[in-house]
Amino acid sequence: MDEGTPAYIGGLKAKDYVMSIDGTIVKSMDELNAIKNTHKIGDKVVLKIERDGKEMDITITLSQMP
């Protein structure tokens, strides 16, 4: 995970497994990106992730890649 990216700043880590975005279950990066692309820069999205066997929600503010 590159420092400075919205995901990194929002707290996402390299081995996190993204289970859903804004309550919609995703099974692939294509599905995740399709939902993300319905939002605009500055919007906040909630990701449900699994990290080290535990589920948690993190909120990420969408921004342009540096």
Dist. CA 46–CA 21, nearest whole Å: 6
Tens digits of residue pLDDT in 30-65: 999 999 999 999 999 999 999 999 999 999 998 876
CA 47 to mean position of chain CA atoms: 5
66 pLDDT exceeds 90? no
Tell me the pTM: 0.83
Dist. CA 2–CA 26, nearest whole Å: 22
Would you list the DSSP string of 3-42? TTSHHHHHT--TT-EEEEETTEE-SSHHHHHHHHTTS-TT
